[in-house]
Amino acid sequence: MFKGSIFTLSLWILFLSMTWSRLAAEGGKPAVKKEHKSLSAGQWSEPVLLEELNDSANDIPATRPCLSKDGLTMYFMRDGRIMEAYRDAPSGPFTSERAVTELDKGYGIWVSEDELRLYYAHYEYASVGRRIRLATRNSKGELWQDVGTFTVIHKDGHGQIDTSPTLTADELTMFYESNRTGIKQLWTATRASITDGAGNFTQFENPTRVIELADDDEVWTPYIAPDGLTIYYGAILYGDTTRNIYKATRPSFNDPFENIEKVGISTDLYWEWMPYLTDDAKTLYFYSRRANDIRGIWVSHKIIQNVIVDIKPGSSRNPLNVKGKGMLPVAILGAEDFDVHSIMAVSIRLEGVAALRQSYQDVAGPEGAGPDGFIDLTLKFKTQDIVGTFGEVNHEDVLTLVIEGVLTDETAIEGSDEVTIVGKHKPLNQADINKDGIVDLADFAIISKN
């Protein structure tokens, strides 16, 4: 009863806050409209094979990577069997492994953040085809126990294939591969909670084709980012001759995906698919058959060039008045070996916020120095846009603000500087439970768990 009323209340809060944002947006008020067009998939390091995951003796490659959040366990598949491989540090080779023989063979896996729920595709029987199943365990040391299928979202029938599940962090939105239109396409389905009041797992509903990712082309093996706003997938698009990994983004759950772009490790020489990214989107695991016919799971790292950032050039304390109505000036410093004209200025985001103005001017040098003869990229951000990204802050708090963007050659750049808070700020929006500045299903999930 208590649970029910909290649930109803939280629904209301969610509804009211969404209505508020919509009204505000129509009134043209909240200005933080993220510009996705200019962002690029960036440059990636030469992929390295995780050879230890292959069964080299029998020439059977590892496929379908899904890394735990601590980076220590790789869930993957080999010869149709779900596997777990372990290592002591979040990088470097895996040193031991276990075949998940307590479950039947599968076709694609996704493991929850706490590693207690495993979603996997499974061949049921001829008249049904492949469906997605759930297995659970009470702690990481235990064996998995199969729970059942997501019956509602599947189209059953001979040759019907629903596979390759991938979920948002709250496990309320699933993307998967389905051939129900005759070819492999991406589909999505949602639910309002992981389990019902009685503790039974909740079915996903409303299977919907994600049509904007490929029109009439085939698409495989999606990976959805934890926040549900970025998707990676394998496809053969725009005249490709092999499978490549593509990326697309959307501003919110209500918008279609856009800005489809090929991820830098893709090449028409080889096949790449089954992408899995770390939460910071800086490490990409994927399956590929590459030079000399070598197959398996490969890893590549996003190439990031550090830049020197000076918030409020001329001040080293960088006070930021949370009630400030003006602009926050920020400079990315040029140097002898760094021409700031190589920055794609429109790609720059400070804490995810785009600048309102930019120009080229020598305003500062490194470590608080004044103009040093090297031209800097100077940017002006609306102070309230930046404050809008904060959670609760108090007077004299020191915050690190991060700038991200790309160079014109698509190399990612990153830099940061600190500000000292003047005044107190508490986000107005009570529904933003996890204080990430947006009200979404992640907040909803937190309330509904309490």
Question: Where on the chain is the footprint of Ca ion (CB under 5 A)?
Answer: 242, 244, 266, 272, 310, 312, 315, 318, 362, 372, 374, 376
Nearest to 166, CA basis, from 123, 103, 120, 215 = 120
Q: How many CA atoms lie within 13 A of 428 on its CB side?
A: 6
Q: How many C-beta atoms surround the C-beta of residue 241 within 10 A?
A: 8
By C-beta, is 118 or 377 nearer to Ca ion? 377
Q: How far is the CB of 369 from Ca ion (least distance, A)?
A: 8
Are the C-beta atoms of 294 and 47 separated by less than 8 Å? no
Cα 446 to Cα 450: distance, rounded to the nearest angstrom: 7
By C-beta, is 157 or 366 nearer to Ca ion? 366
Q: How far is the CB of 335 from Ca ion (least distance, A)?
A: 8
Cα 78 to Cα 105: distance, rounded to the nearest angstrom: 9
Q: How far is the CB of 285 from Ca ion (least distance, A)?
A: 16
By C-beta, is 173 or 318 nearer to Ca ion? 318
Cα 123 to Cα 107: distance, rounded to the nearest angstrom: 8
Cα 331 to Cα 318: distance, rounded to the nearest angstrom: 12
Tokens standing for residue 361: 């001017």
Residue with smallest beta-carbon separation from Ca ion? 242
Q: How far is the CB of 346 from Ca ion (least distance, A)?
A: 21
Length of the chain: 450
Q: How many C-beta atoms surround the C-beta of residue 196 within 10 A?
A: 12
By C-beta, is 256 or 366 nearer to Ca ion? 366
By C-beta, is 92 or 373 nearer to Ca ion? 373
Q: How far is the CB of 136 from Ca ion (least distance, A)?
A: 36
Q: How far is the CB of 389 from Ca ion (least distance, A)?
A: 19
By C-beta, is 38 or 305 nearer to Ca ion? 305
Q: At what angle do helices 441-449 and 2-26 cross, to 10 degrees?
A: 160
By C-beta, is 13 or 401 nearer to Ca ion? 401
As to burial, measured by CB atoms within 10 angstroms (0-12 exposed, 13-18 middle, 19+ buried), residue 321 is middle
Q: How far is the CB of 44 from Ca ion (least distance, A)?
A: 13
